[in-house]
Amino acid sequence: MTFKTGLLPAAVGALGMALVAGQAAAQEVTFKLHHMLPPVSEAHVHMLVPWADKVMAESGGRIKIDIYPSMQLGGAPPQLVDQVRDGVVDIIWTLPGYTPGRFVKTEVFELPFMHHDTTSTNKALAEFATRHGDEYNDYHLIALFVHQGQVFHSREPIRTVADLKDMKIRTPTRLGGWMIEAMGAVPIGAPVPKIPEMLSKGVVDAVLIPYEVAVPLKVYELVKYHTVLDDPNATRPNTSVFMIAMNKAKYEALPADLKKVIDDNSGMKIAGWLGQVWADAETPGEAKSRENGEIIVMSAAETAKLRAMTEQPVIDRWVADLKDKGIDGQALVDEARALIKKYRQ
């Protein structure tokens, strides 16, 4: 009996040390995820929160992700890529196009009439990123993906190409700007949160955004007309590429099993899910737009005119621009088209 009681304190001590060692090995981490839209947005509710919840669950609670919407941690949307690169925040969701000239290869998916549907384009982007990830060497890239495509939301109806003449149209990216110029309209670049103010003050006559973001910004209360295209391959003139990225050092500091949790929720493994999320996200905004205004389908003949005015001229301009940077833009166009065709449903 004396032998057993003599061992008890030592056994308890050993168990305590083992528990402490186990907790240390678990290495719990907390990440700050920063983005631009309000917490009621489809992107926050149906994409970022479920993604973070899944990562946290699969980590066994060792990863905690705190989400900060509406730029709550400071700065403007174009600064998000620098915030995550510099370690000010740990994870961001933003548009590569908010920083023109930095992610030029990825722009190929934003060219006019390149995009068909979210799932095929997202899978094409996931494979494209494995071949051209050099643009993201300063980041740990979690995903590249697109929304369903741009809709013209306007004060005055856009039924023909002639209606676009001299119209001031907001766009998020430089390729969107080039496309608007090719239409004979005037591009005005601005991040999404600026849209309500720009419309209410008459800074722009129309905006190019998907239906999805019309709900949190209440665009349907600021304009009456919403125009899509009659084209079997592209009912929207173009789309925008988004990125979810992580601070590279924070990712590399993770133990192998937690890296695997992140990897299992990245790239091609979530491309199809993201495609469905963004396709479904259009429904509420389209319903609100229809309820409060008119949805116009530009005729096939006028759509063909718009395509002729924008598609090849913008591609040619982009290819020439990339040639000056030592990049074969036409090869990227051909590659992107082939990848979208490969994954098209």
What pLDDT was estimated at residue 27? 60
Q: Are residues 41 and 96 in the same domain?
A: yes
Contacts of 180 by beta carbon, 8 Å cutoff, 6+ apart: 169, 171, 186, 187, 208
Q: Are residues 286 and 261 in the same domain?
A: no
What pLDDT was estimated at residue 309? 97
Cβ atoms of 219 and 207 within 8 Å: the answer is yes
302: containing domain: 151-238+282-318
Number of independent structural domains in the chain = 2
251: tokens are: 């990712």
Residue 24 domain flag: no
Residue 259 domain flag: yes
Q: Are residues 203 and 64 in the same domain?
A: no
Which residue in 331, 345, 220, 221 sits closest to 285, CA to CA? 220
Q: Are residues 127 and 92 in the same domain?
A: yes
What pLDDT was estimated at residue 234? 85
Residue 300 domain flag: yes
| Angstrom distance (rounded) from CA 192 to CA 37 | 8
Residue 333 domain flag: no
What pLDDT was estimated at residue 157? 98
What element of type H or E holds 25?
A: helix 2-26
What pLDDT was estimated at residue 102? 94
Q: Are residues 41 and 108 in the same domain?
A: yes
Q: Are residues 45 and 80 in the same domain?
A: yes
What pLDDT was estimated at residue 233? 84
Q: Are residues 64 and 190 in the same domain?
A: no
Q: Are residues 203 and 143 in the same domain?
A: no
Q: Are residues 222 and 167 in the same domain?
A: yes
What pLDDT was estimated at residue 25? 46
CATH number at 252 reads 3.40.190.170
Q: In this structure, which amino acid lies at residue 171?
A: T
Residue 100 domain flag: yes
Q: Are residues 42 and 183 in the same domain?
A: no
For every one of its 345 residues, what pLDDT tens digit does the chain have, with 9 covering 90 and above?
A: 232 333 333 333 444 444 334 444 456 999 999 999 999 999 999 999 999 999 999 999 999 999 999 999 999 999 999 999 999 999 999 999 999 999 999 999 999 999 989 999 999 999 999 999 999 999 999 999 999 999 999 999 999 999 999 999 999 999 999 999 999 999 999 999 999 999 999 999 999 999 999 899 999 999 999 999 999 888 999 999 999 999 999 999 999 999 999 999 999 999 999 999 999 999 999 999 999 999 999 999 999 999 999 999 999 999 999 999 999 999 999 999 999 999 996
Angle between helices 118-131 and 329-343 (to 10 degrees): 130
Q: Are residues 42 and 156 in the same domain?
A: no
What pLDDT was estimated at residue 4? 32
Q: Are residues 196 and 253 in the same domain?
A: no
Residue 344 domain flag: no
Domain's final residue, options 280, 305, 338: 280
What pLDDT was estimated at residue 277? 96
Cβ atoms of 228 and 236 within 8 Å: the answer is yes
Residue 323 domain flag: no
Residue 78 domain flag: yes
